[in-house]
Every structure is written in C-alpha cells, then in structure tokens.
C-alpha cells in the first residue's frame, strides 16, 4: 500500500507468499484438523468445537461473545460443544435423519450457532436463511431445499412462516428460540427449543461423516437472477480453516468480528465455522448496522480481525471521520472486505481513518471460501482483489462475444498468459468447491468447461499477478469498441468528495453500441445541482478518458440486494423499461 503501512508483517500466518504457494497442499491443512475419533471421517462441527475440548488452552476460553440488546453473554468452547450435542440429540429424538435439511431463520442470536453446528453434528444439511426475508423468498428457498426442520423465533414465525406454512408440506418440525431471555415459547406454533435442550443428554456421538457428505446449502445473493442453492460438503472445513489463517491472518488468541449476516455464505463460512475451527473468540452483534455502535464494538471488544463488506464501509465513509476519532481502534490488526468491488478510495480511507488499510478479497457462494486475497504481509494495490491463495489455481480465460469464456466445439477453453483480461476461472480441487446447485444439474454443469470452474466474473491480471475485478461477465459494457468494466468507472467517480455510492451500466446507443451511464448517490447534505453534475462529468472524463460516463443521474435510492450489493441488472432493467424480474423473491432493498 502506498502511504502509511509499507512495512510488511514478518509474523503473519502467511508471511512469504512466493515460498508458500508451491509448497502448500490441501492435505497439509487437513492434517492440522483432527477428523472424527476412530477414523470416522470429517465433520465440520467436530472440528469447530469438540476437537478443542482436549486442549486446555482452548476448551474453556470464550468461543462466542454475544452482544444482545440487554447485555453480553459468553459461551466457552465447552458450553457450545455441549449445547450443540444437545441440539443434535433433540433432532435425533424427533426422528430427523442424517441428510435431512434443517433451515434456520434467525438473526445473530446464540440459538443460531447452536442450531447450525448441532444440525451438522446430526449430519443434517443446514441452510441458514436471512431473517429479514419476507414470506415469499423464505417459501421459495424452503421448498427448493425440502426443509424438514425450521429453527426460528416466535416473532419471525408469526411474521414470515405462518402465512406460508401450508405451502411447506415437507416441514415436520418448527423449533422456536426465545430471542432475548428465557420466556417460554411454543404451543401450536412449534417446539420450545430451550426446554427440549434441557431434557436431552449433553453427550452425543457424531456418526460417521464422509468428507464428501453434504453439509451446507447456501443460496446465492441473487444479484444476477433468481437465487441458486449451492450445496457444500463437510470437507469444506479444510478450506474454511486454511483460508481464515491465510487471508484473515486469524489466530487462536484473536478476537474476530464478521459482520455478515448468517443468511449469506460469508456469515456462515467465516461468521460461524472458521473462527471456531481456528480456536479464536468471535464477537456476534445482534444489532443492525449503526455506525456509532460499530465503532463502539471495535473499540470495546478489542477486535483484532474484522471482516466486513464494501456496503458497510461506504456507509461508514458517508458519516465522515469524526466518530472513528473518538474511539481506540488500536487492537485492529487486519480489516478485510468481501462481496463487491472495494474501491481504492475505501482502501485508503481505512488507512487514514481506521489506521489500517482494508484488505479486499474475492470469492463466491460457489467457492465456499476465500480464493483471492490481499494478504496482511503483502503490498496492497488499492482496487485489486489480491492474489490467489496457496492451493488455489486461478486463470483468466479468453472471452467469447457474450463475455463468457469461449468454449470450442471440443469443450476446450483458452487460458491467457501474463497480464490479461478474461473470465476468472478456478481449477477444481479446493475442498470447499460447491458440489452443484440443488435440483439444477444443467446449470451446475454449465459452470465447468475445459477442466475449469467458470466464475462468471471478468477480471484483469497485472504483470505481477495481482487480480483486478472488472465486472460480472453480464455487466461489462461494450462502448465504441471499448470493453468497459463498471467497477473502474464507479471507482473513479467515488474518488470525488461529493460522491457516496455509484452504479454504472451501459445503455443502448445506435452509434457506440452502449453508452456508459452512472447513477450517483451523493454524500449526506450535498445538493444535486446541475453544476455538480457538470463537474462530475468533467471529473470522470479527466480520470477515465474515452470510457468516462456520458450521462450522470443523481439517485438517492440505488437498488441493493438484501446483502447490500448494488444491483446493476435492475438499474439496466429500469433504464430499458424491462420487467424487473420477480422482486418478491429478490427482496430488493433501496437504502
């Protein structure tokens, strides 16, 4: 990173990238885990919890520090191991068999961690849903996933599930978690989980679990279309563990905070599994985004490693540096971000305002774990996603006219060498690769060609091997012979002090093919005047030249997915007057 932190970190978990890459084998990471006793396989929950019980340094330390509305609760590794065993016992008593699907519809409450890890102990397939979803997206996902069991709160049950319950014939049991205390729940709506947990034994023997047994069902964010259910297996834990150590530099002595909702893959892979497998203390904040509260959490909890998203960082940036200055953020060693492009502006803002640059990394629901990352002990090139982690073989494939990798009639693709731009692809073989989209073999098969997994994203690689996000293959704009990545244009405009957020799309033009158009949200208190528009057009032209936006409109309510990503697809649909798709399932969230 130019500027503040040029010293690299010799003590980082991954301090010598060039040396580590050729040497690393996934089998080495697997060997650091225990496996089920007696060679009975590999189970995510065992690695996250029970494995630590024989280590006195970890067994009684705090695994989960939960910040509830009315106070903080802590759970040791031993506590969580017992609670999750009880949960597995409850499922077994209810006759829920391995392989059946257990859905959670919960915010960040202790019951979430108990249910997810407990269901994994029972060898069920777990699907955490986003608790702010309305009835339709919940019904769609639960039907697709054939949910046998749902774990939720009484309030969420009434609001979201009761209206659709008759459309879920496979749903046999609803387990209810009291949100903030011990008040009795249950009755007609479902089973009082706390009462059941108290009745069963805390001893549960996890049955034989093959590394390739299904474990997690994650729905994608739905940025480009209807959400798909990506199926992951127990072996994914090897990647959760290794990537948390490499990309997040996570260590057993760390306090770690992942702000992602458990309804998104980040909130499970790194919000539940990885920190526990590493043996760290995780902070879980039940509240929604609030800049003051977040700074307080970072400060008071002495967070060492913080994993968040560009949308949150943009919101913090919108509030200015004042709040950050009132807090002691010196415990922070690493800040990481994922989910959307992280503008260079945000990387620098982190260094200036939080005292640490922000380390962008790239992965997808389908990859199950971080694949490309800016490492703690490596130079950050602001705007770049970093380099492939050890064990990850990435490539750029020559694109065809539709923007996707060109596949010849023999099923071959062309791998580009050196500095290049193409569809980002990964060599199958990393442990957390999804095993397919549920009930959609055709779509699953279409993700692979010529021995590669095709990500659907377009990236550029520089001469030193750093990867730069260009756009989703469907989002790339073709204007007057140029291929324009929306992210590059958005980042250039983000550098203007008046701009808070930008979404860039191509609009049809008879001469140029497409014209670059930017939708700009201004920072709080800034007036959207004609003068400012003219200034921004000039600002863009100076930074970008021929690929600068020709049109800029001010828009206070850019459409976001529920996970906070700008939905360019929807901006385009609105622009062209096309149907916007099934919004009831996408739950578009104008913020």
Residues that bind ligand ATP (CB under 6 A): 220-225, 227-228, 264, 338-342, 360-362, 364-365, 385, 455, 457, 469, 472, 565
For Mg ion, the binding residues in 81-100 under the rule CB under 5 A are none
* Pick 123 or 565: Cβ nearer ligand ATP: 565
* Pick 254 or 457: Cβ nearer Mg ion: 457
Rounded Cα–Cα distance for residues 163 and 505 (Å):
38
In the bound complex, what is the minimum distance in angstroms from residue 220's beta carbon to Mg ion?
Answer: 5
* Pick 111 or 137: Cβ nearer Mg ion: 137
Rounded to the nearest angstrom, the gap between the alpha carbon of residue 298 and the centroid of all alpha carbons in its chain is: 20
In the bound complex, what is the minimum distance in angstroms from residue 328's beta carbon to ligand ATP?
Answer: 28
Rounded Cα–Cα distance for residues 390 and 20 (Å):
7
* Helix (H) or strand (E) run with residue 118 in it: helix 110-121
Number of residues interacting with Mg ion: please give it, by CB under 5 A.
1
* Pick 45 or 447: Cβ nearer ligand ATP: 447
In the bound complex, what is the minimum distance in angstroms from residue 391's beta carbon to Mg ion?
Answer: 22
What does the per-residue mask of binding to Mg ion show for 361-400, with x meaning CB under 5 A?
A: ----------------------------------------
Cβ–Cβ under 8 Å, residues 29 and 434: no
In the bound complex, what is the minimum distance in angstroms from residue 456's beta carbon to Mg ion?
Answer: 6
Among ligand ATP, Mg ion, none, what binds residue 360 when CB lies within 5 to 8 Å by partner kind? ligand ATP
Rounded Cα–Cα distance for residues 494 and 318 (Å):
11
In the bound complex, what is the minimum distance in angstroms from residue 455's beta carbon to Mg ion?
Answer: 8
In the bound complex, what is the minimum distance in angstroms from residue 569's beta carbon to ligand ATP?
Answer: 8
Among ligand ATP, Mg ion, none, what binds residue 565 when CB lies within 5 to 8 Å by partner kind? ligand ATP
Among residues 318, 358, 354, 352, which one has the least CA distance to residue 339?
358
DSSP lists the bridge partners of residue 282 as 64, 256
* Pick 75 or 469: Cβ nearer ligand ATP: 469
Query: 153 in helix, strand or coil?
Result: coil
For Mg ion, the binding residues in 218-277 under the rule CB under 5 A are 220
Q: Which stretch binds Mg ion (CB under 5 A): 32-40, 71-79, 217-225, 546-554?
A: 217-225
Contacts (Cβ under 8 Å, ≥6 apart) of 558: 501, 503, 519, 521, 566, 571, 590, 591
Q: Which stretch binds Mg ion (CB under 5 A): 28-36, 82-90, 215-223, 444-452?
A: 215-223
Which string of b and e fits 268-282 if b means at least 16 CB within 10 Å? bbbbbbbbbbbbbbb
Rounded Cα–Cα distance for residues 48 and 78 (Å):
11
In the bound complex, what is the minimum distance in angstroms from residue 494's beta carbon to ligand ATP?
Answer: 14
Return the beta strands (E) in 382-466 as ranges.
387-388, 394-397, 415-416, 420-426, 448-449, 452-461
Applying CB under 5 A, which residues contact Mg ion?
220
């Amino acid at each position: 990173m130019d500027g503040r932190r040029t010293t690299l970190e010799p003590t980082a978990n991954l301090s010598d990238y060039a040396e580590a890459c050729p040497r690393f084998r996934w089998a080495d990471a697997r060997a650091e885990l225990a496996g089920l006793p007696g060679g009975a396989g590999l189970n995510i929950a065992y690695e996250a919890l029970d494995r630590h019980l024989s280590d006195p340094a970890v067994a009684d330390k705090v695994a989960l520090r939960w910040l509830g509305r009315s106070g903080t609760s802590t759970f040791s590794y031993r506590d969580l191991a017992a609670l999750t065993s009880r949960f597995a016992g409850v499922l077994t008593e209810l006759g829920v068999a391995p392989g059946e699907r257990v859905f959670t519809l919960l915010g960040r409450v202790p019951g979430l961690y108990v249910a997810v890890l407990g269901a994994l102990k029972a060898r069920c397939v777990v699907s955490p849903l986003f608790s702010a979803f309305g009835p339709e997206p919940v019904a769609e996902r639960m039907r697709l996933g054939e949910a046998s069991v749902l774990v939720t709160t009484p309030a969420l049950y009434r609001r979201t599930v009761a209206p659709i319950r008759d459309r879920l014939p496979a749903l046999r049991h609803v387990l209810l978690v009291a949100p903030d205390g011990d008040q009795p729940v249950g009755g007609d709506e479902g089973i009082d989980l706390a009462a059941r947990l108290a009745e069963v034994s805390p001893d549960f023997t996890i049955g034989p679990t093959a590394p390739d047994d299904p474990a997690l069902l994650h729905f994608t964010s739905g940025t480009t279309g209807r959400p798909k259910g990506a199926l992951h297996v127990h072996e994914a834990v090897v990647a959760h563990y290794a990537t948390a150590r490499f990309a997040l530099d996570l260590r057993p002595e760390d306090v770690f905070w992942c702000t992602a909702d458990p309804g998104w893959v980040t909130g499970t892979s790194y919000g539940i599994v990885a920190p526990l497998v590493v043996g760290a203390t995780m902070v879980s904040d039940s509240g929604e985004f609030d800049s003051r509260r977040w700074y307080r959490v970072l400060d008071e909890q002495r967070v060492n490693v913080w994993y968040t998203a560009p949308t949150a960082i943009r919101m913090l940036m919108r509030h200015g540096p004042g709040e950050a200055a009132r807090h002691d953020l010196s415990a922070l060693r690493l800040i990481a971000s994922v989910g959307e492009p992280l503008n260079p502006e945000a990387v620098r803002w982190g260094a200036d305002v939080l005292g640490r640059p922000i380390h962008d990394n790239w992965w997808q629901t389908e990859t199950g774990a971080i694949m490309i990352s800016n490492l703690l002990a490596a130079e950050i090139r602001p705007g770049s996603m970093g380099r492939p982690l050890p064990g990850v073989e990435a490539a750029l494939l020559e694109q065809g006219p539709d923007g996707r990798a060109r596949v010849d009639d023999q099923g071959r693709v062309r791998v580009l060498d050196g500095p290049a731009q193409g569809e980002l692809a990964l060599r199958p073989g990393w442990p957390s690769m999804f095993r397919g989209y549920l009930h959609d073999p055709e779509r699953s098969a279409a993700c692979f060609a010529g021995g590669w997994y095709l990500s659907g994203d377009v990236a550029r690689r520089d001469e030193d091997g750093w990867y730069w996000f260009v756009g989703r293959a469907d989002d790339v704009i073709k204007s007057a012979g140029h291929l324009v990545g929306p992210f590059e244009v958005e980042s250039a405009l983000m550098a203007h002090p008046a701009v808070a957020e930008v979404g860039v799309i191509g609009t049809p033009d008879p001469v140029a093919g497409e014209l670059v158009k930017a939708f700009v949200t201004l920072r709080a208190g800034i007036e959207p005047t004609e003068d400012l528009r003219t200034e921004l057009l000039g600002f863009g032209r100076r930074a970008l030249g021929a690929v600068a936006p020709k049109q800029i409109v001010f828009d206070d309510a850019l459409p976001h997915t529920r996970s906070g990503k700008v939905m360019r697809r929807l901006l385009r649909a609105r622009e062209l007057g096309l149907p916007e798709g099934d919004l009831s399932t996408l739950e578009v969230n104008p913020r």
